[in-house]
Amino acid sequence: MYRVRVRSVPPVVLALRRFPNPRLTGIGAGLFASLTMFVLACADRLLFDSSELVYGLLFLPVSALTALWVRPADLVTAPISVPIAFAVGVFPISGGSEGFGGQVMGLVTALAVHAGWLYGGTLVAGVIATVRKVRLMRARRRYVLAQGRGPADERTPRAAAAASPPGAKPVRAGAGSAGTAGAAARRPQRP
């Protein structure tokens, strides 16, 4: 007699399944990340006196959530929209002097000084998006193989010839009668 072994799901996985799982478009993911980072930067300015460490630490989970919540068709946009969100959010804590030129210089300086956080968050989003894409490709391949169809590049001419009815002549690509179908295919049609 065989015993069926039932796997129990770890409590961490059960807790993660209770979280919301939205599917954002590429633009929606960019807006989510930008607005979230701007609000967090404003809160950082009010509560922690524009702490770069707090802003950088908050940027990493926002990057991860952006890459997790973007829909599969727009996975490539996650690593692109995250640095833009970082730049939008760093504006309130950049600490530039008065005037337009001073604000721009403060923003550029803040981006240069916090490049490590920027690269780290972009790397997090890129890794998560890449893993999600690989998993989707593997699932699609398993589905195609389960349906009994192989990819088109795996079909060989011998397999196609073996599937043809007995006694049928093999046809070369582009072969046809020169007087009818072949000439008509090469000649442009007049209206």
pLDDT of residue 157: 54
User: In this structure, what token pair is assigned to residue 48?
Assistant: 């922690």
Burial of 96 (0-12, 13-18, 19+ CB in 10 A): middle
3-class DSSP state of 70? strand
Q: How far apart are alpha carbons 96 and 110 in whole angstroms?
A: 9
pTM greater than 0.75: no
In tens, the pLDDT along 9-28 reads: 788 777 767 777 778 888 99
pLDDT of residue 186: 56
